């Protein structure tokens, strides 16, 4: 993540405390109180930025309004560590990551958009409207995860909200443009996938030989360009 150009924004302190829990002996999950919104996410990024530099931290994994902190070894004083995390959250101010803007050309509809009809049924909108609402959106990369380089995008128009499928597609192609609940993204690996496909993008989201290997970073803006619409 690049915080170099991040500028601190004043954030009103939240009355609610974050939830801190352990996974095994070496990982701590901090979950922000409140809803899934960008101010909360910005505060998570600020927390990530601060905790990343702790000498005992091996990795940090920012999630959707939460942060997983993975330690190099089991702490001798877990309560003390939790207290420090809580304190760091209290001090964390919103960071506005001024990331890059990534434009992703998309073929909407067509052979890979196997769930477009279901999205139309669910929303009561025509396929043209669903596609238009999707490409007109301004999206922010909230976090990466689930597959190498996969970005969870915030900013979906609530009118095209679509719950995840109960029975996942067994072999969804890498590059499929999908909607999962209030999130959208471009699948990064070919395989089983529970999100709803509405299009396809050729752009390579991850290249292990590159530094950094992932195209997207938290804080980046994403625009989808309707290169072709096959309805």
Q: Interface residues with other proteins (CB under 8 A)? A: 1, 19, 21-27, 29, 31, 36, 58-68, 70, 73-76, 78, 143-150, 152, 188-189, 191, 206, 208-209, 212-214
Closest to 164 (Cα-Cα) out of 143, 178, 176, 174:
178
Query: By the 8 A CB rule, do 218 and 201 touch?
Result: no
Please, what is the minimum distance in Å from the beta carbon of residue 109 to other proteins? 27
Nearer to other proteins (CB atom), residue 148 or residue 226: 148
Nearer to other proteins (CB atom), residue 147 or residue 173: 147
Please, what is the minimum distance in Å from the beta carbon of residue 135 to other proteins? 24
Nearer to other proteins (CB atom), residue 109 or residue 218: 218
Distance of alpha carbon 42 from alpha carbon 31, whole angstroms: 13
Nearer to other proteins (CB atom), residue 39 or residue 148: 148
Nearer to other proteins (CB atom), residue 110 or residue 145: 145
Please, what is the minimum distance in Å from the beta carbon of residue 64 to other proteins? 4
């Amino acid at each position: 993540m690049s915080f170099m150009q991040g500028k601190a924004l004043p954030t009103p302190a939240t009355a609610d405390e974050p939830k801190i829990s352990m996974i095994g002996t070496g990982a701590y999950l901090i979950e922000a109180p409140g809803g899934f919104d960008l101010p909360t996410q910005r505060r998570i990024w600020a927390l990530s930025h601060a905790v990343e530099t702790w000498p005992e931290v091996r990795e940090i994994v920012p999630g959707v309004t939460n942060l997983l902190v993975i330690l190099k070894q089991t702490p001798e004083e877990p309560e003390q560590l939790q207290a420090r995390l809580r304190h760091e959250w209290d001090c964390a101010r919103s960071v506005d990551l001024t990331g890059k803007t990534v434009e992703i050309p998309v073929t909407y509809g067509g052979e890979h958009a196997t769930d477009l009809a279901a999205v139309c049924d669910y929303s009561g909108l025509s396929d043209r409207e669903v596609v238009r609402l999707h490409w007109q959106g301004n999206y922010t990369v909230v976090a990466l995860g689930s597959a190498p380089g996969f970005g969870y995008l915030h900013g979906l128009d609530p009118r095209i909200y679509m719950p995840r499928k109960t029975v996942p597609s067994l072999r969804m192609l890498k590059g499929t443009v999908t909607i999962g609940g209030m999130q959208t993204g471009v699948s990064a690996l070919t395989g089983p996938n529970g999100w709803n496909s509405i299009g396809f993008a050729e752009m390579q989201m991850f290249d292990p030989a590159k530094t950094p290997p992932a195209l997207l970073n938290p804080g980046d803006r994403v625009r989808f360009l309707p290169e072709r619409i096959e309805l």
